[in-house]
Structure 1
């Protein structure tokens, strides 16, 4: 096991708790429905079909620094994180208000 510093332990604990909750939510939804939810199939089939859109966005400097440390392709990784959140929200795993505008 890797020895972690205080900040690493705090982030690890937060992330670990979050992942355990997501895992519980995933299993619980499948157990309650006794099947894979239809929305999950739609999400899986839709991935990779979306076109890219150029966008100007303001992101916290520490978030940008974090992703840039991974080198080339950091914007794609940021997109993957946003896509994971979106899919979690669409699958009903992440609660919250979601506005849809068809403009």
Structure 2
């Protein structure tokens, strides 16, 4: 146990994560295996890939 909090610890605020929406999604088996083979956090990595794709599409679209 720590005797004293590290400097700035009292002001630390944990970032609020955006809530995730649970869905049912059908993917190719090899796609799921690719991400699962990366170990724990595979769904988070898959979400990051999808988010990157979404953002690149948004940046390249004309509004």
User: Do both proteins adopt the same fold according to a TM-score greater than 0.5, normalized to the shorter chain?
Assistant: yes
**Counterpart-to-counterpart distance in 1, 2:40 and 2:58:** 29
Tell me which protein shows more helix as a share of its residues.
1
Task: Give the CA deviation at 1:49.
Answer: 6.5
Within the candidate set 55, 64, 70, 2:38 is matched to: 70
Structure 1: 5+ residue stretches without partners? 1-47, 94-103
RMSD of aligned residue pairs (Cα, Å): 1.9
TM-score (norm 1): 0.41
* Structure 1 stretches of 4+ moved >3 Å: none
SS in structure 2 opposite 1:91?
A: helix
Within the candidate set 46, 50, 55, 1:82 is matched to: 50
Structure 2: 5+ residue stretches without partners? 1-15
How many residues were matched structurally?
A: 46
Larger Rg belongs to:
2
TM-score (norm 2): 0.66
**Counterpart-to-counterpart distance in 2, 1:73 and 1:83:** 15
